[in-house]
Amino acid sequence: MDEEKTVDSEIVATYPKYSAGIAKAAKLIEDNGIPLTYSSDGEAGSQFPDPIVAFRDMEVGAGWRALALCLTAGLPVKELRQSWHIVDRDRPTGPSWEITFTENMD
């Protein structure tokens, strides 16, 4: 258990833009060539109720590949989904892939 905490601390130190609760998933996905557009650990004060990573479909199948990476790594995946965000109150943009998790991974 302590060894896992050390590894997670190293991930957060290397990827400071990610909170500890989502750093493991963020690093796994980005290290496999899928750049994230946003992430959140779902903690109090976050706009997301669950831990989440999101990315554009830069290549065909990126969402499915990211899902496979997370499942193979044993991460607590809750959902894989696509979303379209509304810009300027009238223009959908996207889609973005989103993977949510049942819990933080810190």
Which one, of 32, 29, 27, 44, lies nearest residue 98 by Cα?
29
Tens of pLDDT, residues 49-96: 899 999 987 777 899 999 999 999 999 999 999 988 888 888 898 888
How does DSSP assign 26-72, residue by residue?
HHHHHHTT--EEEEE---TT-S-SS-EEEEE--STTHHHHHHHHHHH
17 HSE (CA, 13 A, CB side): 9
Under DSSP, the state recorded for 73 is: T
Q: What is the pTM of this model?
A: 0.78
Query: Please, are residues 100 and 78 in contact by the beta-carbon 8 Å criterion?
Result: yes
Query: Please, are residues 70 and 44 in contact by the beta-carbon 8 Å criterion?
Result: no
